[in-house]
Amino acid sequence: MSLTVLMNAGPWLSVPPPGYGGIENVIATLVPELRRLGVRVVLASVAASTLPADERFHVFDDGQFPALQRPYNQVCGVSQAHLGGVARLLRTRDDIDLVHDHVEAVGLATLAAMGPDAPPVLHTLHWDLAKHPELYGNLDGGDRLRVNGVSAAQLARAPRALREHSVGHVYLATPLAVGAAGRRPVGKGDHLVTLGRIYPGKGQDLAARIARTVGVPLVLAGPVGPYHRPEDLAAAGEEARQNPDVRFFYDEVAPHIDGDLVRWVGTVAGRERDDLVAGARAALFPLRWEEPGGTAVVEALALGTPVVATARGCLPELVEHGRTGLLADAEEELADLVLAAGLLDAAECRREAAARFTPAVMAEHYVGLYDAVRRLAAARHPQ
């Protein structure tokens, strides 16, 4: 039986995203694999999206990300315009079997308001929800609404109303995992790498301190707030400090940057990113927050780089201590673990990624969840 899914990517960025864009990247990874499995995908996004789909729908031509800087009511206006369009489309169609929604909270609320005749909804949670319990206060009309997490740890921290609607979790995937088991090993350099936006929860300040303690070079890769290149941040001047991530960078990270042992290279992409990570002795994630999904973690494994991290959020689900990485219960242990990481086998990391974190594995799990969501909705509303 063929299945038609409306994939709601929202109005903020095109798919695939032009630069940074976690949710849009997940959708860009998932959709081709779903179509390979025979699922018809109607992509609700912006006109600028280039991801192939069976059908597309949009309200806005370009990603509305800049609107997020505007007053709150204008942000809501953008969401409502997009979701209103999706709701109108759903009312005119009887061939859409399920909505797979990725639009934070408001997506779920709007689709809930459509009532029992609308298709069932699977909403993927992308955030650490313990921090935003208010976002999902009201799940009225919840019979046909289900959610999934990107890790068991993320779901465990979600508000109870959400956990009661959960159908499970699906780990994030990376195209780098495809064929990773058979990929030729690359020569390892001596450096450590941290890959991710510069953010207190990701602990780049700790990474820098650890590198200096153990005397191992560290490359920090990732944007600081909206600034992707060191020269752009330097040119932005004092005003940039209004952004909390910029303040964190200047106050906590920059004092450790000496251009020699510790370097910040800005955002790296494509081949440059892959070579930087593949050639590293370890990928360091000294987390201070409960990482919900960790794309950069599965990317490191796929590139054959062991992960050294605090055992927070999804890390213990993604990394096997002693085989594909080393996990610390306390920050103070990380320096010793960095030194031991060279003993781990890169091939084990690549094998693990090839078995668990490919787009095909992710898509197969989602097809299973679509089936579960539809059966649950049908049981509540027999035709």
For helices 346-356 and 295-302, give the axis angle rounded to 10 degrees.
Answer: 120
- Angstrom distance (rounded) from CA 209 to CA 348: 28
From CA 243, how far away is CA 278, in angstroms rounded?
31
For ligand UDP, the closer CB: 63 or 293: 293
- Measured from the Cβ of residue 4, the count of other Cβ atoms closer than 10 Å reads 16
Find the shortest distance in angstroms from Cβ 175 to ligand UDP.
10
Concatenating the DSSP letter of every residue in 143-164 gives GGEEEEESSHHHHHTS-HHHHT
Q: Which is nearer to ligand UDP, 157 or 165 (CB)?
A: 157
**Which of residues 120 and 286 has its CB atom nearest to ligand UDP in the complex?**
286
What residues contact residue 70 under an 8 Å CB cut-off, 6+ apart?
Answer: none
Residue number with CB closer to ligand UDP (119 or 196): 196
Nearer to ligand UDP, 120 or 293 (CB): 293
Residue located via tokens 């018809």: 40
Give me the least distance between CB of 268 and ligand UDP, in Å please. Answer: 4
Residue partners of 35: CB distance under 8 A and separation at least 6:
41, 52, 53, 54
- Cβ burial 287-306 (10 Å sphere, 16+ → b, else e): bebbbbbbbbbbbbbbbbbb
Residues paired with 40 in a beta bridge:
4
Nearest approach in angstroms of CB 320 to ligand UDP is 19
Smallest distance, Å, CB 171 to ligand UDP? 11
Residues forming the site for ligand UDP (CB under 6 A): 20, 22, 195-197, 221-222, 267-269, 273, 293-296, 299
- Nearest approach, Cβ of residue 102 and ligand UDP (Å): 13
Cβ proximity to ligand UDP, 222 vs 286, nearer residue: 222
Shortest separation between residue 296's beta carbon and ligand UDP, angstroms: 3
Cβ at position 276, least distance to ligand UDP in Å: 9
Cβ 285 to ligand UDP, closest distance in Å? 9
Nearest to 299 by CA among 208, 216, 221: 221
Cβ-based nearer residue to ligand UDP, 57 or 285: 285
- Residues 6+ positions from 127 with CB-CB distance below 8 Å: 104, 292
Would you give the end-to-end CA distance of the chain in angstroms? 18
Cis peptide leading into residue 16 (ω within 30°): yes
Query: Of 221 and 328, which has the nearer Cβ to ligand UDP?
Result: 221
Maximum alpha-carbon separation in the chain = 68
